[in-house]
């Protein structure tokens, strides 16, 4: 049997090495594409987002003010907090909101808070046809009733909750159609009386929470849009600007 020449062996070895190199480059390209940062394309306007965030604040205000007082309408500290009208929500969400507010009223306030402020940050925007879903992180800061021997030692409490809010276009306005927690957790948020510990995949909690990277990273375009929209809704997220200045981080 005739053995292959050194030239043929060299050509074969070179061919194998070249194919291996091409395969490695292909794998690296795939990995690079797979791990490329997500680019969010946003088509809603600043005015759209300002309108949506206003609804979010009104939705949260109606719940949070009950944490402060069992009679929020007649409490001068929080009576001015704007709340959402049922007509600004889908019928299903309006029914849920009414149920939860009634449960919060029945539970009663802790008696340790005298006002509050809410700051929201949009972390991502998902557009699905005509519907828009906002991933929002909401920080509620509570001003505690003064403590200490002279009643002059103030302190603060805060709670951060992440939700997905869904909006639909109705005529020339947006309405809030759904609100879901990202995580139920061992101790559900204090303004979610219908959520059970570790609840998931329900009408109030997502079934598949987003990956940690998506929770911690805010796309640049979303950040710019949120900053512009927030300037348009001054005095909508808290009782007054002074409260916001005092309580926000």
**Over the stretch 164-193, which tens digit does the pLDDT of each residue have?**
999 999 999 999 999 999 998 999 999 999
Please tell me which residue, 247 or 103, carries the higher pLDDT value: 103
Q: Which of 48-52, 132-136, 148-152 has the lowest mean pLDDT?
A: 148-152
**Confidence tier at 141 by pLDDT (50, 70, 90):** confident
**Confidence tier at 147 by pLDDT (50, 70, 90):** low
Q: Does 115 have pLDDT greater than 50?
A: yes
Residue by residue, DSSP assigns 135-182 as EEEEEEEEEEPPBSTTS-B--EEEEEEEEEEEEEEETTEEEEEEEEES
- List beta partners, residue 169: 174
Spatial contact of 145 and 111, defined as CB atoms under 8 Å apart: yes
Please tell me which residue, 118 or 239, carries the higher pLDDT value: 118
The answer as to whether 193 is a domain residue is: yes
Cα torsion at 18, 23, 29, 32 (round to 10°)?
A: -120
The answer as to whether 17 is a domain residue is: no
What would the two tokens of residue 23 be?
Answer: 């395969």
The answer as to whether 29 is a domain residue is: no
Residue with tokens 């809010």: 165
Rg of the Cα atoms in the chain: 26
Domain count, the chain: 1
The answer as to whether 1 is a domain residue is: no
The answer as to whether 21 is a domain residue is: no
Mean pLDDT in residue range 70-93: 93
The answer as to whether 58 is a domain residue is: yes
Q: List, in sequence order, the alpha helices (H) in the chain.
A: 6-34, 46-68, 91-107, 212-216, 220-232, 241-247
Cα–Cα distance, 26 to 36 (Å, whole number): 15
The answer as to whether 81 is a domain residue is: yes
Residue ranges making up the domain that contains 224: 45-247
Q: pLDDT > 90: what percent of the chain? A: 49
Cα–Cα distance, 241 to 135 (Å, whole number): 25
The answer as to whether 35 is a domain residue is: no
Beta-carbon neighbour count of residue 190 at 10 Å? 18
Read off the pTM.
0.79
Q: Does 26 have pLDDT greater than 90?
A: no
> What's the confidence (pLDDT) of residue 39?
56
Q: pLDDT > 70: what percent of the chain? A: 73
Please tell me which residue, 78 or 235, carries the higher pLDDT value: 78
């Amino acid at each position: 049997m005739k053995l292959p020449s050194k030239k043929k062996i060299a050509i074969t070895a070179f061919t194998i090495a070249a194919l291996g190199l091409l395969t490695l480059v292909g794998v690296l390209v795939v990995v690079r594409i797979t791990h490329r940062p997500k680019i969010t394309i946003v088509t809603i306007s600043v005015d759209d987002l300002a309108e949506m965030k206003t609804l979010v604040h009104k939705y949260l205000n109606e719940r949070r003010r009950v944490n402060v007082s069992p009679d929020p309408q007649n409490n001068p500290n929080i009576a001015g907090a704007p709340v959402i009208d049922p007509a600004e929500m889908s019928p299903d969400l309006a029914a849920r909101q009414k149920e939860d507010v009634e449960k919060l009223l029945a539970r009663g306030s802790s008696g340790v808070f005298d006002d509050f402020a809410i700051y929201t940050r949009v972390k991502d925007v998902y557009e699905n046809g005509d519907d828009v879903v906002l991933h929002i992180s909401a920080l509620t800061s509570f001003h505690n009733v003064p403590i200490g021997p002279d009643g002059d030692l103030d302190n603060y409490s805060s709670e951060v909750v992440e939700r997905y809010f869904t909006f639909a276009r109705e005529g020339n306005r947006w309405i809030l159609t759904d609100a879901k927690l990202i995580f139920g957790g061992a101790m559900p948020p204090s303004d979610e009386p219908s959520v059970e510990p570790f609840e998931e995949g329900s009408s109030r909690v997502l079934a598949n929470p987003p990956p940690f990277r998506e929770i911690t990273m805010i796309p640049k375009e979303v950040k710019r849009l949120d900053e512009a929209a927030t300037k348009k809704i001054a005095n909508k997220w808290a009782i007054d600007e002074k409260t916001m200045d005092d309580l926000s981080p």
